[in-house]
Amino acid sequence: DDASTFVYADAGEPSTIDPAKANVNWEFTVTRNIYDRLVDFDLDDPSKLLPALATEWKQDGKVWTFKLRDGVTFHDGTAFDANDVKATLDRLLKIGQGQSYLVDDIASVTVVDPKTVKIETKAPTVFLASNLSRIEMLSDEDIAKHKDDLGQAWFNENANGTGPYEFVSWTRGTQIELKRNDKWWGKFPEKPFDRVLDRFVTDGANRARGLEGGEFDLANFVPLDEALRIGTSSGFHLVEGNNLWAWPAIYLNMDLAPTNNKNFREALVKAFDYNAMVQSFQGKAEVGRGPVPSWFPGSPEKEEAEIKTDLDGAKAALAKSGLANAKMKCSVPAGFPEFRFAATVLQSSAQQLGVTVEIEEQPFVEAITAIKSDKSNCFVLGNANLSPSDATKFFSAHYLKGGFYNSGKFFDQTLQDLVAKLPTISDAVERGKLLKQAADIVVDSHYIIWTARPKTVVPEPDRIGGYRIDPAEYINARFWEMYSK
């Protein structure tokens, strides 16, 4: 029974397993495996969409039509149909949390027949199907049964999906247990795991040590040094890949002195020791050239200029800014050594310019509140975008007014307009051009220091296989693809 149990060391305990509210990685660990989505995408080429609960789809201006798969049932035995899709999307938009931002351009959802659903968007968007690859489908009966609070209480700790794994139990503080769904419509590999234990192991060092000691089969957020060491030790192999998350990007506060000075920001960007960062990732990283990584569909990255440490340029820029001996404060969310290290590098680079950087490590909420309320000049965070191919969602979170991650309060009207226009353009080449324009605006503003863009490395024990890195989501296991050897 041991071999058929898969133990996953997750970095935290879900606060909810409601797909409409799930926010963080360890919540998705559960929802992604219990529920299915209308479409899937190829992890190796995110622009390529794959059928899932929907077998066909097409866009016609503002209207998208999805044909649904036959014979799919929920874990409780009820059948999946178009009503479920409508109820799910309506509920999601009403709650307005979690991943709802990915589909917030939906105007209405119409059930055409049990196997066909029509979705109308506020404006034409080419990205809808791609973004729906992140939206989990619930059962309309469950929603109806708990309609008082939109099922918020119930879905928080219960689950009934159509997905490869069924929810068994949640032992608070310890683990969530799942079991394999034999009746799943999809295909399991040769020796799939019958039972999955999603353990909550908040301490990164403990995750690493447990993985190495064989207590866990896989772990997320293993500190890089440990991941490389474990992954190259005997009995393990390394799985490498790209993803959007976890590049330490330093956001500079556009409102608070001294970072409100563009020349000053330029000085910081130029002084930054990119090499140190790459070295800290033991060479498994490259230096970014702009907001959109090269492997992202339509990325203009290759055409962008390289960003390099240029101390002379930095000094010149600093001279232009007229801010000698400036002091600034940098907030870092606690628990991410790479982010902290990026700030340390900034500190030591800035020192060469005579600029003092004070680093303050705080819990995430406190750290982001600090910069947003102008108590801090900079903030270190990875990028976040759950959409595998829609850069506009990414831009709006990071660079548009009011975006959650736009912590330094960047604002540029041209960029705002560009981002609004992007989804309406169906020609990929044309979109690429606009994307470059948008990227250039961000680069030129020196709003961000892209410190390094590391590869994601995950040590996988040789006794198991099937793990792949999701480019849009940081280290999450698709349990249905995993198998024991």
Partner 1 sequence: MIAFLLKRLVWGLVVLIAVAVITFFLSRVVPADPAAFLAGQNASEETVQRIRVEHGLDRPLPEQFASYMIGLAKGDLGESIRTRRSVSTDLKQYLPATLELLIVSFVLYLAVSFSLAVLAARRPGGAVDGAIRLITMVGTGIPVFWLGMTLQFFFFYKLHWLPLGARFPIRETAPPVVSGFLLVDSLLAGSLSAFLASLKHLTLPAATIVVNLLAVGTRLSRAALIQEQSRLYVRTARGKGLSPNRILFKHILRNALSPILTATTMQFGYMISWVILVEVIFDWPGIGLYAYQSFQVFDYSPVIALAIVSTAGFVIINLVMDLLYPVIDPRVQSVGS
Partner 2 sequence: MSISTQPTRRTIARPKGVLLPLALLVLVILAAFTLLPGLIAPHDPIALAMADRLKPPSLTHIFGTDEGGRDVFSRIVYGTRYSLGVAIAIVFASALFGVIYGAVSGMARQGIDNLMMRIVDLFFGFPALVLALAVAASIGRGLDSVALSLAIIWWPGYARLVRGEVLRLRERPHVEAARALGVSEMTILRRHIIPFVVQEVNVRVTTDIGYALVAVTALSFLGLGANSPTPEWGLLIRDSRPYFGSAWWYLVFPGTMIMLTATAFSLIGDALASRRAA
Residue closer to partner 2 (CB basis): 128 or 218: 218
Nearest alpha-carbon partner for 186 in 484, 485, 478: 478
E strand residue ranges, 352-476: 356-362, 378-381, 448-450, 453-454, 456-461, 464-465
The contact set with partner 1 (CB under 8 A) reads: 1-2, 5, 7, 12-13, 15-16, 21, 23, 96-101, 156, 172-175, 197, 199-203, 205-206, 209-210, 212-213, 215-216, 334-335, 363-366, 368-370, 373, 375, 384, 397, 402, 404-405
| Residues in contact with 213: Cβ distance below 8 Å, sequence separation at least 6, in sequence order | none
Residue closer to partner 1 (CB basis): 185 or 364: 364
Q: Is 474 in the site for partner 2 (CB under 8 A)?
A: no
- Concatenate the DSSP letters of all residues of 59-109 into one string: EETTEEEEEEPTT-B-TTSPBP-HHHHHHHHHHHHHH--TTGGGGTTEEEE
Q: Is 356 in the site for partner 2 (CB under 8 A)?
A: no
- Concatenate the DSSP letters of all residues of 126-185 into one string: TTHHHHHTTPBP--HHHHHHTGGGTTHHHHHH----SSSEEEEEEETTTEEEEEE-TT-S
Residue closer to partner 1 (CB basis): 2 or 306: 2
Residue closer to partner 2 (CB basis): 124 or 223: 223
Q: Evaluate whether 269 touches 445 at the Cβ level (below 8 Å).
A: no
Report which residue type is found at 185: W
3-class SS of residue 293: coil
**Residue window 180-209: x/- pattern of binding to partner 2, with contact defined by CB under 8 A:** -----------------------xxx--xx
Could you tell me which stretch among 113-121, 226-234, 388-396, 428-436 binds partner 2 (CB under 8 A)?
226-234
Residue closer to partner 1 (CB basis): 197 or 345: 197
Nearest alpha-carbon partner for 137 in 183, 178, 79: 79
Among positions 225, 240, 444, 462, the unique one binding partner 2 when judged by CB under 8 A: 225
23 touches, from partner 2, partner 1, none (C-beta below 5 to 8 Å by class): partner 1
- Residue 288 CA to residue 282 CA, distance in Å, equals 16
Report which residue type is found at 444: D
Residue closer to partner 1 (CB basis): 113 or 203: 203
Q: Is 60 in the site for partner 2 (CB under 8 A)?
A: no
Residue closer to partner 1 (CB basis): 364 or 483: 364
Could you tell me which stretch among 61-69, 104-112, 118-126, 222-230 binds partner 2 (CB under 8 A)?
222-230
Nearest alpha-carbon partner for 184 in 197, 194, 173, 196: 194
Residues that bind partner 2 (CB under 8 A): 203-205, 208-209, 212, 223, 225-226, 229-230, 273, 275-276, 279-280, 332, 334, 337, 340-341, 343-345, 347-348, 351, 358-363
